[in-house]
Chains A and B, each alone.
Chain A
Amino acid sequence: MTSDASVDATGRAPLIELKGVSCSYGEHLAVRSVDLAVPARQFVAIVGDSGSGKTTTLKMTNRLLEPTSGEVRIGGEPTRSQPPHLLRRRIGYVFQRIGLFPHLTVAENVGITPQLLGWPSAQIASRVAELLALVNLPSEFASRYPAALSGGQRQRVGVARALAARPAIMLMDEPFGALDPLTRDALGTEYRRLHDKMGLTTMMVTHDVFEAVLLADRIVVMRGGAIVADGTPRELMNNHRDEAVRAMMDMPRRQALRVAAMLDQETGHG
């Protein structure tokens, strides 16, 4: 029942809507006529192998890439109706390589979008302090430069920067992919908490099915530029008709079972 996942409980129009969106790089068709509707407050994970078109789909949402055909709507309004930089100031964007500006302090990095929006500097300063607390960074980090931070700390700053201008939508492209497993798990869990607390709508691209299952309300599987499965984690893990999807979704369950069995054995011996 894929339709359940894409319709807002209140019946309103979806917040993010991709209609027949395609994107080609020269001859190569990276995304073929994708339809995707994301209601407000939903956490969608897009999974798939590299080259499946998941990152391209994400980037077309805030016009980092322009669709070759089709239309993207945010809040019912076509994204083409306004200049891309204005659209992007309303949408948080986090990606694996983070891209903190090395010549700016942590505070300046976090405050960049509010500054572009022309917020008064006192308001920016208090927002920056609030955000550092929100992503669990000590306030003295504000005056440091990115080079002085660890990978996990940098991505916390990256998340804070994306949240700074109070966007309703967060786009995340393998946000925790380069971090060590512990940090990755902690940051993922913390982010999910922020998503709920702040009422965000999140689209997250990941190749890690575990992460998708644990964090997302809904998983979209892409292959060869098209959506091949779309549903809640539970639906997709329940004997999906597509063999490849079944194999992919089976893996976290098998691993979880093996770990559980191992733990049972240990308790048995004890």
Chain B
Amino acid sequence: MDERVAAAWSVLPEYLGEHVLLSAAAMGLGLAFSLSLTIAAVRSPHVRWPVLLLASLVQTIPGLALLALFYPLLLALAALSDRLFGQSFSALGFLPSLLALTLYSMLPVIRNGVTGILSLDPALIEAARGVGMTQSQRLTRVELPLAAPMLMAGIRTAAVWVIGAATLSTPVGQTSLGNYIFSGLQVQNWVAVLFGCVAAAGLALIVDQLLALIETGVARRSRVRISIGALVLLAGIVSAAASRNDVDAARYVIGAKNFSEQYILSALMADRIAAEGGSTVHRTGLGSAIVFDALAAGDIDAYVDYSGTIWANVMRRTDIPPREPLLREMSEWLDREHGIVMLGALGFENAYALAMRRDRAAELGIRSIADLAEHASTLTVGADFEFFARPEWPALRDAYGLAFANRREFQSTFMYEAVTTREVDVITAFSSDGRIAANALLVLEDPQGAILPYDAIVLLAAKRRDDALLRRALEPLVGAISVDLMREANFRVDRGDEPESPTAAARWLATRAIASSQ
């Protein structure tokens, strides 16, 4: 078997189990809400239109955005509950995913339920009243049984949606089949992407068929069909719950953002912790804004961030001091504000940089950003989704008077493709990216120092500040990774032909980095 397929198989029970539990919980909770709202909407026209409007509105919010919105909301709620009751909860992972998917599941059930009940023959309602049923008897004996096929069709739609949308819960820290897709996309492991898609689609298909069995069972009043469908569904949920290995507090939770370098470094940290006798779980593929909040809240124990990111995004500073003073001031601020420990800098920078094809740069006589500014009005710039919203962009633009003819945004893998195929002229590369050397790109000089320093730094959560094992494991990494080493490790994962897994690249990096420093 292909190494990547084997790797994908090995994590399938965990990803699938988590995916099933999350989807089942969201469907269960969603059904409880949807059915109550359906009944309320059927009984009162005053309730009906706001309920249907709200449910439709939720559906128009893109799934990823809905998940992302719940994170800050829950974070604020957790802080409030901590202040009021001295009881906090994790705003990361399961809870925001559950709530977003619950909301997502509601529209088809409510819409079908309301339509199903309201479109019943009025003669049946008159008969139900005429024979002496109360309102609730009418609901359980006439309206719900007769609307059941329509309701079940809504439930099937909802289940398929929820299972599909659950793949989007990876960026808020919930393990799901989406982990295959997000990490695969990042490290160009198309086998993993495909594996995740097939697994999610397969799961949706199976659940849909089981619900279809229950649906026909309801329509034909066949207890056998209903029981078989329900039992298999239940067995799936139970086995998912049983296979779940508990995340006990003794484990170290290692976070990572959603790009190759982060996957490699989190694998490296996990290996180091394992070597010291600790066990780890990963929360990878987290959104850049979420990962710091997660560390501050103690949902993750350690991860690698970059000094400029903390400085600009978290501390909201707009000045650009030199490296050392920035690190010092940031370290003090993290300790003071959050009790977070900056263990140290790894030894390389992953800064934003502007890069061009070497031949294109030579053609135009460009070596620095100042040279670029003279030609910018005829050039197209490509950036990742974040760049134009970051403070670096106005800083660069104003410092050099950059005005590009066009600008486009890409997922970073495709950004490198775009500059190589001359679709864009300049890209916002990352200085530690392996693809800079591999694609013969030139990193333009920044003579005015307009770009923030981005030293890779290891951060520890407040509750782990005195954790001897963690410090013993991670301290040797400080100052041990040069930018050349990191670029090569990154390239091993990012290269188009025969890419390595992040774990393999981390092992390679470990042999060079730790060996040379010891």
Q: Could you list which residues of chain A lie within 8 angstroms of chain B, going by C-beta atoms?
A: 62, 64, 83-90, 93, 95, 97-103, 112-113, 116-117, 161-162
Task: List B residues 137-167 near A (Cβ within 8 Å).
Answer: 137, 141-142, 145-146
B322 within 8 A of partner (CB): no
Q: Are B131 and A93 in contact (CB under 8 A)?
A: yes
Point out the residues of chain A lying under 8 angstroms from B221, CB to CB.
Answer: 103
Q: Are A99 and B123 in contact (CB under 8 A)?
A: yes
CB distance from B223 to the nearest CB of A (A): 14
Number of interface residues of B (CB under 8 A): 18
CB < 8 Å neighbour of A89 from B121, B126, B131 = B131
B134 within 8 A of partner (CB): yes
Measured CA separation A31–B129 after assembly (Å): 22
Task: Using A93-B131, A101-B124, A162-B130 as known contacts, list a sample of 14 further A-B pairs with CB atoms less than 8 Å apart, ordered by residue number in A.
Answer: A62-B130, A64-B130, A86-B132, A87-B132, A88-B132, A89-B131, A95-B123, A98-B123, A98-B127, A99-B123, A99-B124, A99-B128, A100-B127, A116-B133
Q: Are A99 and B133 in contact (CB under 8 A)?
A: no
Measured CA separation A90–B134 after assembly (Å): 14
Inter-chain CB contacts under 8 Å: number:
60
Task: List B residues 111-135 near A (Cβ within 8 Å).
Answer: 121, 123-124, 126-134
Point out the residues of chain A lying under 8 angstroms from B133, CB to CB.
Answer: 85, 116
Point out the residues of chain B lying under 8 angstroms from A64, CB to CB.
Answer: 126, 129-130
Q: Are A103 and B129 in contact (CB under 8 A)?
A: no
Point out the residues of chain A lying under 8 angstroms from B124, CB to CB.
Answer: 99, 101-102
Interface hub of B128, B132, B134 (most chain A Cβ within 10 A):
B132
| A-B residue pairs in contact (CB < 8 Å), sample of 28 | A62-B130, A64-B126, A84-B129, A85-B132, A85-B133, A85-B137, A86-B132, A87-B132, A88-B131, A88-B132, A89-B132, A90-B132, A95-B126, A97-B121, A97-B126, A98-B123, A98-B127, A99-B127, A100-B127, A101-B124, A101-B127, A101-B128, A101-B141, A102-B146, A103-B145, A103-B146, A116-B132, A161-B131
Point out the residues of chain A lying under 8 angstroms from B123, CB to CB.
Answer: 95, 97-99
Query: With A97-B123, A98-B123, A101-B124 as given contacts, are A88 and B146 in contact (CB-CB < 8 Å)?
Result: no
Interface hub of B129, B146, B221 (most chain A Cβ within 10 A):
B129
Point out the residues of chain B lying under 8 angstroms from A83, CB to CB.
Answer: 134
Chain A residue with the shortest CB-CB distance to B122: A97
CB distance from A99 to the nearest CB of B (A): 3
Q: Are B131 and A116 in contact (CB under 8 A)?
A: yes
Measured CA separation A116–B132 after assembly (Å): 8
Point out the residues of chain B lying under 8 angstroms from A90, CB to CB.
Answer: 132
Chain A residue with the shortest CB-CB distance to B146: A103
CB distance from B372 to the nearest CB of A (A): 74
